[in-house]
Structure 1
Amino acid sequence: MMKTQAQLNILYSCVDEKKRGNEQFVPEHALGCILSGESHFLTAKGTQVYGAGTIGLVRRNQLVKSLKVPPPGGQFKSINIFLDQDTLRQYSAENHIEATGHYTGVPMLQLSLDPFLKGYFDSLLPYFDHPEGLTSTLSELKTREAIELLLRFDYNLKDFLFDFSEPYKIDLEAFMIQNYVYNVPISQFARLTGRSLATFKRDFQKTFGSPPQKWLQQKRLEEAHFLIAKRKQKPSNVYLEVGFENLSHFSAAFKQQFGYNPSSLQTV
């Protein structure tokens, strides 16, 4: 069972079984606290595991796969506050705080030892028993409070929060080979490589000799074949890992590509 309550940009999650995150693209900065259980985050740099009590800040425009893991006999619980660009721009202008340049640090920061941030998340808990109390005005105030506390924790986070630049043009081949398993629209891949959709498709064809969708499916199927045949993983565990949305579509595409069902590899 999964229970989620959202009040504008503040999200409370409660899960009593392992649950994969639905979204694999982080469009806005997110400040989060794990109340119980663990969060597993898979990025291009590997998997990171965070336990109860972890407070973290995730940068926007990131590709991330997440897994929520409840503790034995308990529930996974977390709170996330999304710091949207409009609110950050307004705060930046009103307080005359600007980034000194493009942010080049790590995309996921741990802030777990700060007592003020812990107290901030504690102050949000009553609203999830009484969500009607978290009005739009209060939600806006709590968002601004989060920004204040982050700058209090480390004023240099202004470069993280107030860098409003969009992704610049990067090496398309290296990026796609590293990130093809993320199930996001082609338009998101284009944005993250600093290209318009039309330019992305043109550059992709020139680089890989194939349209993006065709290349992505073939690459994902090849990885799935390897995981099932060599790593002895089950098809039901593999299809999400390589970027397919459902098992039936994966199985049909696999058979069309290789001429046999993925389950037949388990008997080889």
Structure 2
Amino acid sequence: MSDRTVKVPQGLEITSNNQSTLKVQGFTVVESCTRTRGKQGSMFLDDHLLLFVLEGIYKIHFGNQTYIVRKNEMVLLQRAIVIHYEKSGEPNKDYSLEYMMFFLKDELLKEFIKMSNIKFTQPSELVPVLIHPVNVRLQKYIESIKPYFNESEKIEDSLVRIKLLELLFDIASEKESMMQQLLQLKQQVRSNLSMIIEENIMNPVSIKDLAYLSGRSLSSFKRDFQSIYNMPPSKWIQQRRLEKAKELLTYTAMSVTDVCFTTGFENATHFSKVFKDYFGCPPSSLKQELS
């Protein structure tokens, strides 16, 4: 089976055995405790992600780089990117793995900026993946939020919001370089539109995501796209994905479901419908004929 890229935080599979979640007003915090000798997968980040490793190792592959996040380290990942990960527990601790994920929406960053009055200075380079050690203050913060997961239904929404703002203040006071990168996430540099499209054409990205990655407003992105491709972005992208899907169905042994998710579609029923509308036959029929 092909590797399906899951959109997070919405697509996280919550299990009562090893993972718990705080989710209020669109903000999500995930605590995961498990035992593993190695688990791999792919994620598309709908929000900025701040991940703390408390035990074990969390490897992140982005582009042609591999980043290793170890115990008492944190990593900041910008939103609207696809990462591949490998998770492994500590061999001398029965392969235990523990980490905590904070998904940070732009709205929270805006609120924090207004409250903190932090002076923004342009980083020398905006990096999509940034690793820092976790100091004692941040370790104490992680411990303070753990009890919330035991009674998540009783926790007020506003309290979780305050705890997320507290996290940002703690980072600001200790990790200026990371905080400036975090603030810079709101200041995306205008990028080559065609390059952004080609890099993400098979990822489960929305038009809004592509606009963000290109450093444009949604309206500017649509206007610039139309001028380059002479077609609305949603129509052009769907056609490219369908043509790639037909190629995979024709020349590989992949199933219809695997092809659906590999080419950026998120729903197999919708994929079959648009495929039939475009090519005149459903993907399952094409697969049967070829067989």
TM exceeds 0.5? Answer: yes
Tell me the CA shift for residue 249 of structure 1: 1.7
Question: Letter of the aligned partner of 2:116 in structure 1?
Answer: S
1:218 lines up with 2:245 in the alignment: no
- Equivalent residue for 2:93? none
Tell me the CA shift for residue 140 of structure 1: 4.8
How many angstroms apart in 1 are the aligned matches of 2:252 and 2:161? 48
- Equivalent residue for 2:223? 202
- Equivalent residue for 1:64? 82
- Equivalent residue for 1:121? 142
How many angstroms apart in 2 are the aligned matches of 1:6 and 1:151? 24
Q: State the SS of the aligned residue for 1:55.
A: strand
Question: Letter of the aligned partner of 1:57 in structure 2?
Answer: L
How many angstroms apart in 1 are the aligned matches of 2:197 and 2:205? 12
Q: Deviations over 1:90-146 (max 9, x none)?
A: 3431xxx32221562321222356454344323321110022664456435533442
User: How many residues align structurally?
Assistant: 260
- Equivalent residue for 1:87? 111
TM-score, length basis structure 1: 0.72
- Equivalent residue for 1:104? 125
Q: 2:274 aligns with which of 235, 240, 253?
A: 253
Q: State the SS of the aligned residue for 1:98.
A: coil
Question: Letter of the aligned partner of 1:33 in structure 2?
Answer: F
Higher deviation after alignment, 83-92 or 167-176 = 83-92
1:2 lines up with 2:14 in the alignment: yes
TM-score, length basis structure 2: 0.67
CA distance 1:248–1:58, change in 2 (3 Å): same
Q: State the SS of the aligned residue for 1:100.
A: coil
CA distance 1:10–1:169, change in 2 (3 Å): closer
Higher deviation after alignment, 82-91 or 170-179 = 82-91
Tell me the CA shift for residue 223 of structure 1: 2.6
Higher deviation after alignment, 210-219 or 97-106 = 97-106
Q: How does 1:149-188 map to 2 (within 5 A)?
A: 149-151=170-172, 153-163=174-184, 165-188=186-209
Tell me the CA shift for residue 67 of structure 1: 7.8
Q: State the SS of the aligned residue for 2:51.
A: strand
Give aligned-pair identity as a percent: 26
How many angstroms apart in 2 are the aligned matches of 1:202 and 1:79? 36
Higher deviation after alignment, 8-17 or 247-256 = 8-17
Q: Is the 8 A contact 2:80 2:205 kept in 1?
A: no
Q: Is the 8 A contact 1:255 1:262 kept in 2?
A: yes
1:32 lines up with 2:54 in the alignment: no
Q: Is the 8 A contact 1:65 1:182 kept in 2?
A: no
Q: State the SS of the aligned residue for 1:162.
A: helix
Q: Any gaps of 5 or more consecutive residues in structure 1?
A: none
Q: Is the 8 A contact 1:180 1:216 kept in 2?
A: yes
Q: Deviations over 1:48-83 (max 9, x none)?
A: 687885632223x53336789898xx9997432526
CA distance 1:237–1:39, change in 2 (3 Å): farther
How many angstroms apart in 2 are the aligned matches of 1:50 and 1:256? 45
Question: Letter of the aligned partner of 2:75 in structure 1?
Answer: G
Q: State the SS of the aligned residue for 1:104.
A: coil
How many angstroms apart in 2 are the aligned matches of 1:40 and 1:254? 36
RMSD: 4.2
Question: Letter of the aligned partner of 2:257 in structure 1?
Answer: S
- Equivalent residue for 1:237? 258
Q: State the SS of the aligned residue for 1:215.
A: helix
How many angstroms apart in 2 are the aligned matches of 1:199 and 1:89? 25
